[in-house]
Structure 1
Amino acid sequence: MERLNPTEFREVMGHFASGITVVAGLDPDAGEPVGLACQSFASLSLEPPLVLLCVGKASTSWPKVRRAGRFGVSILADDQRDVCAAVGRKGPDKFAGVDWELSENGAVRIGGALATIDCELYAVHEGGDHWIVTARVLALTARPSGSPLLYFRSAYATGEFA
């Protein structure tokens, strides 16, 4: 079987528009938020209530979120590109200037998000160069209106696609 070109694979898969989330927990050692921007997120099961996300194995933030055991998934609104850029960058102080709160479940929630999901780690599986993470849903919140921040063809997008 012929090996696929990774660049072509990424380009073609980029034709699937996806929402952008922030996955964040409270670092048990530092007592500060840790997290990452994630576009590979979906609901998985109603009973029990589970979600799934896929995180690159090279992520330096995921091990800290995993260690926390509980984390929030914040579905970003279309006016939160700056939040995505801040949390998506490498290095320390990703949450400097980002509005966040700690829920009663110990999940980090991003202020102004379209929706937030408080999660507890359920299972982690290997999936090539990614971890497939499943999490039990503990609580949910949603704004009554707003539009999502989308990612399409390697760029931020709105409901209009050229």
Structure 2
Amino acid sequence: MNTRSPRAPAPAFDTGHFRQALAQFATGVTVITTRLADGSFRGLTASSFNSVSLTPPLVLWSLGGSANSLPIFSGNSHYVINVLAADQAHLAKLFSTRSEDPFGAVEYELSRTGQPILKGATAWFECHNRSRYPEGDHVIFVGEVEHCEITPAQPLIFHGGQFRDLA
């Protein structure tokens, strides 16, 4: 089965306009975390998270193809997608910078496979790193969810370039 379509014509807009249009879509905010072979942890903020399938349970997220952390997440067998709660905007900011060790400033527990789960997240998904697909300037990661949990906390929302909550 051919999954590629013919190329679309060149867009009639620039990347700035495209970015502004995308900012009109309200999205949740996640921090993707993983454990390296040496036992240290890595994490990054991502708003590109979505469900793919209920059976099997699959989710996706994407990462820039030039990101320093791409080899880490491409090579690890597991990661956790932490859906941030409304009071965790500081974590989104912390994990979006190139801080040496953001885990020194956050509370976490370990998943069944030893991955860091951020305390207070409104939901989390422990995923097997099932597949990766390069598309455009990003790589799409598909994770098979092995375990997930929820809390009653309200989610953090990102819209129009700002963090917001449902209230």
**The two structures share one fold, judged by TM-score above 0.5:** yes
1:105 equivalenced with 2:118 (yes/no): no
Instruction: Decide whether the 8 Å contact of 2:74 with 2:132 is kept in 1.
Output: no
Matched, 1:152 2:159: yes
Structure 2 residue ranges without an equivalent (≥5): 1-8
Alignment counterpart, residue 63 of structure 2, candidates 47, 55, 59: 55
Q: 1:107–1:119: 8 Å Cα contact kept in structure 2?
A: no
RMSD across aligned C-alpha pairs, in angstroms?
1.4
Tell whether the 8 Å contact from 1:114 to 1:148 is kept in structure 2 after alignment: yes
Q: What SS does the corresponding residue of 1:77 show, helix, strand or coil?
A: coil
Larger radius of gyration: 2
Deviations 1:88-145 (A, max 9, x none): 11242132201112211232211110011100101100110000110110001111x2
1:2 offset after TM fit, Å? 4.6
- Whole-Å Cα distance in 1 between the matches of residues 76 and 116 of structure 2? 11
Code of the residue aligned with 2:40 in structure 1: it is: E
| 1:18 matched residue in structure 2 | 27
TM-score of the pair, normalised by structure 1: 0.91
User: Structure 1: which 5+ residue stretches go unaligned?
Assistant: none
Percent identity between the aligned chains? Answer: 29
Runs of 4+ with >4 A deviation: none
- Please report how far the alpha carbon of residue 33 of structure 1 lies from its aligned counterpart in structure 2 after TM superposition: 1.0
The AA in structure 1 aligned to 2:162 is A
TM normalised by structure 2 equals: 0.89
Letter of the aligned partner of 1:90 in structure 2?
A: R
Tell me the equivalent position of 2:76: 68
Aligned to 2:43, the other structure's residue is in SS state strand
